[in-house]
Structure 1
Amino acid sequence: MESKEKRGKLILVSTPIGNKDDFTIRAIEALKMSDFVICEELKMGANILRQINLSKEFYTLNEHNEEENAAELIEIIKTGKTAALISDAGTPLFADPGRILLKLALKSDIEIEVVPGASSIMTAIVRCGFDLHEFVYAGFLSRNSDDRVKKIKELSYERRTIILMDTPYRLLSLLEDLNKVMPERSAYLGMNLTMHYETHHYGTFSELYNKLKDEKIKSEFVICFEGNFNTAYKKQSSERGEYSSDNRDSRTESGGDRPPRRDNDDRPPRREYEDRPPRQDYGDRPPRKDYGDRPPRKEYGDRPPRKEYGDRPPRKEYGDRPPRKEYGDRPPRKEYGDRPPRKEFGDKPPRREWSDKPPRREWSDKPPRKEYGDRPPRKEFGDRPPRKEWSDKPPRREWTDKPPRREWSDKPPRKEYDDRPKRDDGDSRGRSSWSNDSERPPRKEFGGKPKAFGSGVKPFRPKKAGGDFPKKNRFTKRK
């Protein structure tokens, strides 16, 4: 046990491919016991562990840095630590980086454990409904369309069920190439597998392409299609013109796309001579036409005579052309003496001198500036009308000037029950009247209405700074 702890441990943990409920208990326990996690991208790795409320130290390992970081990670694991390798979705190392890390771990005698989980390939192959005894995983095809079509042609002769995968944005281009090579082949297309919005499509490649070519699809997918059950490869190739006698040798030498050779056990039994229809005898055929029945062939003498060179019109000779114009026939060139004389500088008007300009205006010619003494005197504060003082305002109305408040004693006495008319019958609401005073309940007496706050007492009025008038508050009333 001590030697294993010193060697360290590498756990290959499978993660869900879409549905987070596919996390197995064993995968969760493996991630919890690991000292650090190796993932492709830090963001995706953190999201995966966040689903199970777990936080660990991360190291990145992808196709860009696998060769550099693999050796360093092995040295860390050798110190006795446990590392968990995960991918963005599904099983690590399957169409994902990590192969170099696994090889170094095997060479270093590090303990390796695999934790299986959800797989889109197994989900699709079970769901497709095709033959499951044998199947071929072709993986991701080439990005180049020509190379992809060439590989699809090779797969078209395969008799086993084929599985294809690719990135979401290349789904339509892949379906287009599959439709070109084998449009009538039955296929299955599964998208967003294990999710609650997963979709499944069945049909030929021609039907699938026509159905999805106008849609904008960006989903993870798996394609499964049936193998080629027609074993007459030579018949198929002759119809396509791929294995004719003209190019058979060249294709064999260059290693062409010839299908695998059929075993003798797979061939149907050969027809015997007894099963063939009787051959037609020569006597049943119509007599062959003899050469004497053909019209006589035209002889060379029946053709019109060929035109000879002597029948052509004579070729024009150089002497028949008009004579070329000589230089003497051109008009004489104008000489420099025929041009008008050039204007000399002396013919220009004299340049204006500075002395011809009018004299510049001096500062002494400006009118004198107004002095401060010419302005009207400024109004002084003494010229303003006197400000109204607080003493000029009319006196404020006091509380004593108000009429006395009406007391409760001034109200007329309240009618008692004895003064009201008695009712013998019940009213409209079904209440019965009192037959006598003894049946009536005693009246609830009141001790009198409490006096209002501040009645008969002058309220407190705080004075305003700088004056004798009180400040308005909630005790004062508006006039």
Structure 2
Amino acid sequence: MLNTTGVLYVVATPIGNLADFTLRAQQVLEKVQVIAAEDTRHSRHLLTHFGINTPLQALHEHNEKQATAQLISRLQAGESVALISDAGTPLISDPGRYLIEIAHTQHIQVVPIPGASALISALSVAGLSADQFIFAGFLPAKSTARQQVLQSLSAETKTLVFYEAPHRIVDSVTDMLHCFGTERIGILCKELTKLFETVQRDSLANLLLWLNEEVERQKGEFVIVIQGAQPLDTQALNPEAERVMRLLLTELPLKQAAKLASDITGVSKNKLYDWGLTQRD
């Protein structure tokens, strides 16, 4: 009798509100032979709440290759496996890619069980274009590296989405303000679907003020959605910024003029630099 492989299910779990746990997801987690979880202690609380007693196996960045080998062997033996993360849809800034990649190479069926996603939830309430967007995940912890990433995205016209931890939220928004400009629109989505859920939309300058007004506002897990840059042909400067740039360009190289004009006018130095390029061309 031929042995058929099991199925690898990629299962979304709630990001806060337990009522968002789909019936299909619960049924899948009950019927598989093992659940691969990022943090088994965290996931056991969720499963216990729903009366799911399926065994758990840890799968995280420190044991991913070893755990993958064990799980693939079980799948090849005909058992089915569910992959979950601590919250939301697996692989969105969570481990598991290696397991799924190897499963595909071994011709094991991989089935998505959709559900909650902080990324999609934030986009749905941001009021910005979601036809095309760039998800950049978590930014680097150190400011220099973080600013380099943000600078590389400063002229991107697509909507930008980031995840951020509470202890870095002020620093990250500060760096965004410097790289994207004070007037760029941002949306801070804090503790989505949880008791203290907050969606705050404003200019980056005002969002930074809002965060600093109350320390409590800095607590919780954040999704940051940022308006894309305006296309170059629509990046007209206000009269004062244009006057300052024209004066500075008579004495300074473009890069220095843009930086100094940004300090004087509050307009993004990238916008000023791009404007200067069009004048030079």
**Same fold judged by TM-score > 0.5?**
yes
Question: Residue 103 of structure 2 corresponds to which residue in structure 1?
Answer: 105
> Partner of 2:226 in structure 1?
225
Give secondary structure in 2 for the equivalent of 1:189: strand
Aligned-partner SS, 2:174? helix
CA contact (8 A) 2:74 2:80 kept: no
Deviates more, 1:168-177 or 1:17-26: 168-177
Q: How much does 1:132 deviate? A: 2.4
Alpha-carbon distance in 2 for matches of 1:131, 1:112: 31
Structure 2 unpaired stretches of 5+: 246-252, 258-269
The one of 50, 72, 75 equivalent to 2:73 is 75
Deviations 1:311-340 (A, max 9, x none): xxxxxxxxxxxxxxxxxxxxxxxxxxxxxx
* Whole-angstrom distance in 2 between the partners of 1:206 and 1:194: 26
Residue of structure 2 in register with 1:208 after alignment: 207
- Would you say 1:114 and 2:93 are equivalent positions? no
Separation in structure 2 between the aligned mates of residue 168 and residue 80 of structure 1, nearest angstrom: 43
Between the aligned partners of 1:242 and 1:67, the Cα distance in structure 2 is 47
Structure 1 runs not aligned, ≥5 long:
245-257, 268-479
Q: How does 1:200-349 map to 2 (within 5 A)?
A: 200-214=199-213, 215-216=215-216, 217-232=218-233, 239=245, 241-242=254-255
2:45 counterpart residue number = 47
Structure richer in strand, relative to its length: 2
1:323-372: CA deviation from partner (whole Å, max 9, x where unpaired):
xxxxxxxxxxxxxxxxxxxxxxxxxxxxxxxxxxxxxxxxxxxxxxxxxx
The separation in 2 between residues aligned to 1:27 and 1:82, in whole angstroms, is 14
Alpha-carbon offset, residue 154 of structure 1? 2.0
Q: Which residue of 1 aligns with 2:149?
A: 151
Change (3 A) 1:243 1:232: farther
TM-score normalised to structure 1 length:
0.48
Q: CA deviation at 1:232?
A: 4.7
Partner of residue 60, structure 1: 58
SS at match of 1:113: strand
In structure 1, distance between residues paired with 2:256 and 2:145: 20
**CA offsets 1:18-62 (integer angstroms, 9 cap, x no match):** 000001111011011101111011211201211211112111010
- Counterparts of 1:187-198 in structure 2, within 5 Å, are 187-198=186-197
- Is the contact made by 1:188 and 1:223 (CA closer than 8 Å) also made in structure 2? yes
Q: How far apart are the structure 1 equivalents of 2:192 and 2:87?
A: 12
Distance 2:196 2:235 in 1: 45
Aligned partner of residue 137 in structure 1, secondary structure: strand
State the Cα deviation string for residues 232-279 of structure 1 (Å, max 9, x = none): 59988x9593299xxxxxxxxxxxxx99xx9xxxx9xxxxxxxxxxxx
- Structure 1 segment 405-444 matched on structure 2, within 5 A: none
Aligned to 2:248: none
- Which of 10, 13, 17 is the aligned partner of 1:12? 10
Structure with bigger RCO (C-alpha 8 Å, 6+ apart): 2
C-alpha distance in structure 2 between counterparts of 1:234 and 1:22, whole Å: 42
* Amino acid of the structure 2 residue aligned with 1:55: N
Shift of 1:68: 2.0
Q: Which residue identity does 2:185 align to in structure 1? A: S
Instruction: Indicate the residue corresponding to 1:184 in structure 2.
Output: 183
Normalized per residue, which structure has more helix? Answer: 2
| Structure 1 residue 129 displacement after superposition | 0.7
Cα distance between partner residues in 2 of 1:177 and 1:34: 45
C-alpha change, 1:230 and 1:110, in structure 2 (3 Å) is closer
Q: Secondary structure at the match of 1:30?
A: helix
**What amino acid sits opposite 1:183 in the alignment?**
T
Q: Does structure 1 conserve the Cα–Cα contact (< 8 Å) formed by 2:16 and 2:192?
A: yes
Q: Which deviations, in whole Å up to 9, do the C-alpha atoms of 1:157-212 show, x marking residues without a partner? A: 11111111122321111111112221211111111111243111111111111121
1:15 offset after TM fit, Å? 0.4
Checking the alignment, whether the CA contact within 8 Å between 2:182 and 2:205 is kept in structure 1 is yes
Query: What do residues 283-318 of structure 1 show as CA deviations (whole Å, max 9, x unaligned)?
Result: xxxxxxxxxxxxxxxxxxxxxxxxxxxxxxxxxxxx
Amino acid at match of 1:229: Q
Larger-gyration structure (1/2): 1
Identity of aligned residues (%): 31
After TM superposition, the runs of 4+ consecutive aligned structure 1 residues lying more than 3 A away are 232-236
Tell me which residue corresponds to 1:403: none
Partner of 2:265: none
Counterpart of 1:35? 33
Which amino acid in 1 is paired with 2:51? N
Normalising by structure 2, we get a TM-score of: 0.80
| Residue type at the aligned position of 1:53 | G
The 3-state SS of whatever aligns with 1:201 is strand
CA 224–199 in structure 1, closer or farther in 2 if over 3 Å, else same:
same
Partner of 2:263: none
Measured in 2, the distance between the counterparts of 1:79 and 1:227 equals: 48
Does the CA-based 8 Å contact 1:161-1:226 persist in structure 2?
yes
**What is the alpha-carbon distance in structure 1 between the residues aligned to residue 207 and residue 172 of structure 2?**
11
- RMSD between superposed Cα atoms in Å: 2.5
Spell out the pairing of 1:117-136 with structure 2 (5 A cutoff): 117-136=115-134
